[in-house]
C-alpha cells in the first residue's frame, strides 16, 4: 500500500478510531502532536483511537482530516457513499493531454526542428502571465502545456553547444514548474512526483541557480503536502546553501527565490507547530522582500513585498492561532497581490483564520471572494472545502443556505 493510501475499505469494516490511528501513524504524528494541533490532549486522541470515546462531530472529523492531510473523507470515516476528496481536486478535462506530454519521450523517431529558444521563452512568459490573470487558470495553462513540454524537450535534444544545452535545461525546468501548478491537487499523485523530479533534474543539469531554487521550492511543497516534513526542510536547506554565494551580486529573481525558500522553511516549521522557528523564517523572508523593488513580483512563486502579509496569515493559520490569524488577515491587503489565483489562495487562508477564530459568517463571505477571484483555485483547495462542508451542517439556517450554495458551486453538492 502506498504512503498516501488510506485504510483498505474492501476488508472487514474498521472502526473510526482504528482508522484514525492508522492514518496518524502513517503520517508520523504522535498522539501528543495530534492532540496539540486539535487543541486537545493526547488522552483525548487515545480515547477516540481505543473506542472509549464515540465518533466525533462532523466539524471535528473535518479538522482531523485537515491536520492529517487525508485525501478523502472516506479514508477516515469508512463511508464509501460520500467519498469527498478534500486535498485532491477533481480531475481537470485537460489532465490526460498534459499527462501524455509529460510521459512521452520521442527519442528514436525523427522530429521537426525545435522552436528558437527566444520564441519558446516568450511563449512561456505569456503562459505565466495568463496563469496570473485568468480566473480559470488551470484551463488556460492546461491548453498551453502539452506543446510547451514537447517543444522544451525538443530544444534540449537539439541544442548544439554545451551552453545552449544548459540554457535549454533551465527553460525546461521552468516549463515543469508551470506544469506542477497544473497537476497539483489533481487525482494523480504519481504524476506530481514525476513532474517535480524532472523539474529538479533539468534544473540541476542547467547549473542555473535560479532554476535550481525554483525546482527546490516546488519539491519542498510536494514533500510538505504529503507530510514529509524532514524531506521538505532538507531540500530547502540545500537550495539555500547553494544560492548563498550568488546573493551578494544576484539578480532580482535569484534574491526573490531565496526569499521564497526562506518562507517555505517557515511554512514547514508552522506545520510542525514550531512557533518561534516559523516566525523567524518569515521575518528573514520579509527582510529579503523589503530589499526588492516595490513593484517586483516573482512570476513563479509570487514572492514580493505584497505577498508577505499573505504569508503572515498562512503562518498564523498553520500554527492554529485564531486571534493572530485574524489580526494578520486584517493587516494584509489582498488586492495588492496581482495574481488572481494567488489572491484567491490568500482569501482562503484568511477564511481559515476567521473560522479558527469562531467567525464562520466572515469565513464564508471571504471564501465567496476567493471564488470570485479564481474559481479553479478554491475548487481544488481542501481547506476551503472543509470549511464549506462544515458550515452546511451549521445550526443557523441562513449560514447553511449560504454554505450549501457555495458547496454547489464547488461541486461538493448537487444543484
Q: pLDDT tens across 49-90, in order?
A: 998 998 888 878 888 887 887 777 788 888 766 566 777 778
d(CA 356, CA 272): 18
Band of the pLDDT at 243, cuts 50, 70, 90?
very high
CB 195 within 8 A of CB 179: yes
What pLDDT, on a 0 to 100 scale, did the predictor assign at position 280? 98
Band of the pLDDT at 6, cuts 50, 70, 90?
very low
Weakest mean pLDDT among 79-83, 122-126, 301-305, 321-325: 79-83
What pLDDT, on a 0 to 100 scale, did the predictor assign at position 38? 84
Residue 226's nearest CA partner among 54, 26, 397 is 26
pLDDT of residue 337 exceeding 50, the answer is yes
Band of the pLDDT at 11, cuts 50, 70, 90?
very low
Average pLDDT, the chain: 90
Band of the pLDDT at 22, cuts 50, 70, 90?
confident
* Average pLDDT score over residue span 203-231: 95
Which residue bears the cell 524531506? 231
Which is more confident, 85 or 40?
A: 40
DSSP-derived secondary structure for 253-321: HHHHHHHHHHHHHHHHHHHHT-HHHHHHHHHHHHHHHHTS-TT---TTT--STTTHHHHHHHHHHHTT-
Which residue bears the cell 545552449? 164
What pLDDT, on a 0 to 100 scale, did the predictor assign at position 3? 35
DSSP-derived secondary structure for 130-141: HHHH-TTHHHHH
Q: SS3 of 65, please? A: helix
CATH topology of domain 16-77: 434 Repressor (Amino-terminal Domain) (1.10.260)
What pLDDT, on a 0 to 100 scale, did the predictor assign at position 68? 83
Which is more confident, 2 or 145?
A: 145
CB 160 within 8 A of CB 179: no
Which residue bears the cell 510536494? 222
d(CA 360, CA 387): 8
Tell me the per-residue pLDDT of 281-302, one tens digit each, with 9 for 90 and over: 999 999 999 999 999 999 999 9
Query: Model's pTM, two decimal places?
Result: 0.84
d(CA 98, CA 144): 9
User: Domain residues of the chain, as ranges?
Assistant: 16-77, 90-207, 325-415
pLDDT of residue 326 exceeding 70, the answer is yes
Tell me the per-residue pLDDT of 174-193, one tens digit each, with 9 for 90 and over: 999 999 999 999 889 899 99
Cα-flanking dihedrals φ and ψ of residue 97, to 5°?
-70, -40
Residue 87's nearest CA partner among 33, 26, 6 is 6
pLDDT of residue 5 exceeding 50, the answer is no
Q: SS3 of 188, please? A: coil
Band of the pLDDT at 227, cuts 50, 70, 90?
confident
What pLDDT, on a 0 to 100 scale, did the predictor assign at position 46? 94
CB 400 within 8 A of CB 394: yes
Amino acid at each position: 500500500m502506498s504512503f498516501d493510501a488510506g485504510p483498505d475499505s474492501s476488508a472487514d469494516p474498521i472502526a473510526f478510531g482504528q482508522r484514525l490511528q492508522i492514518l496518524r501513524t502513517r503520517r508520523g504524528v504522535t498522539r501528543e502532536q495530534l492532540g496539540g494541533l486539535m487543541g486537545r490532549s493526547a488522552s483525548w486522541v487515545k480515547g477516540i483511537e481505543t473506542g472509549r470515546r464515540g465518533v466525533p462531530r462532523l466539524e471535528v472529523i473535518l479538522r482531523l482530516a485537515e491536520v492529517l492531510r487525508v485525501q478523502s473523507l472516506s479514508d477516515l470515516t469508512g463511508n464509501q457513499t460520500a467519498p469527498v476528496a478534500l486535498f485532491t481536486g477533481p480531475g481537470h478535462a485537460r489532465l490526460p493531454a498534459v499527462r501524455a506530454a509529460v510521459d512521452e519521450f520521442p527519442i528514436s523517431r525523427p522530429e521537426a526542428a525545435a522552436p528558437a529558444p527566444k520564441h519558446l521563452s516568450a511563449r512561456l512568459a505569456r503562459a505565466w502571465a495568463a496563469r496570473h490573470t485568468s480566473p480559470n487558470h488551470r484551463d488556460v495553462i492546461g491548453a498551453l502545456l502539452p506543446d510547451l513540454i514537447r517543444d522544451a524537450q525538443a530544444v534540449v535534444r537539439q541544442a548544439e553547444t554545451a551552453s545552449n544545452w544548459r540554457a535549454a535545461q533551465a527553460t525546461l525546468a521552468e516549463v515543469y514548474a508551470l506544469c506542477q501548478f497544473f497537476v497539483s491537487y489533481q487525482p494523480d499523485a504519481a504524476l506530481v512526483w514525476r513532474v517535480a523530479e524532472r523539474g529538479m533534474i533539468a534544473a540541476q543539469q542547467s547549473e542555473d541557480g535560479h532554476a535550481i531554487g525554483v525546482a527546490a521550492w516546488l519539491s519542498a511543497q510536494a514533500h510538505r503536502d504529503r507530510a514529509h516534513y524532514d524531506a521538505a526542510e532538507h531540500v530547502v536547506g540545500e537550495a539555500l546553501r547553494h544560492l548563498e554565494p550568488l546573493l551578494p551580486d544576484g539578480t532580482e529573481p535569484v534574491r526573490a527565490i531565496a526569499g521564497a525558500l526562506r518562507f517555505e522553511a517557515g511554512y514547514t516549521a508552522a506545520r510542525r507547530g514550531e512557533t518561534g522557528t516559523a516566525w523567524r523564517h518569515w521575518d528573514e523572508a520579509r527582510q529579503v522582500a523589503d530589499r526588492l523593488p516595490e513593484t517586483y513580483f516573482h512570476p513563479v512563486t509570487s514572492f514580493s513585498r505584497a505577498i508577505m502579509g499573505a504569508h503572515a496569515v498562512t503562518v498564523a493559520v498553520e500554527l492554529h492561532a485564531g486571534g493572530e490569524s485574524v489580526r494578520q488577515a486584517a493587516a494584509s491587503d489582498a488586492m495588492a497581490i496581482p495574481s488572481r489565483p494567488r489572491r484567491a489562495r490568500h482569501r482562503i487562508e484568511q477564511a481559515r483564520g476567521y473560522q479558527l477564530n469562531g467567525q464562520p459568517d466572515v469565513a464564508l463571505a471571504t471564501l465567496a471572494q476567493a471564488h470570485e477571484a479564481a474559481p479553479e483555485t478554491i475548487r481544488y483547495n481542501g481547506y476551503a472545502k472543509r470549511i464549506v462542508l462544515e458550515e452546511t451542517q451549521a445550526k443557523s439556517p441562513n449560514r447553511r443556505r449560504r454554505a450549501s450554495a457555495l458547496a454547489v458551486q464547488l461541486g461538493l453538492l448537487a444543484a
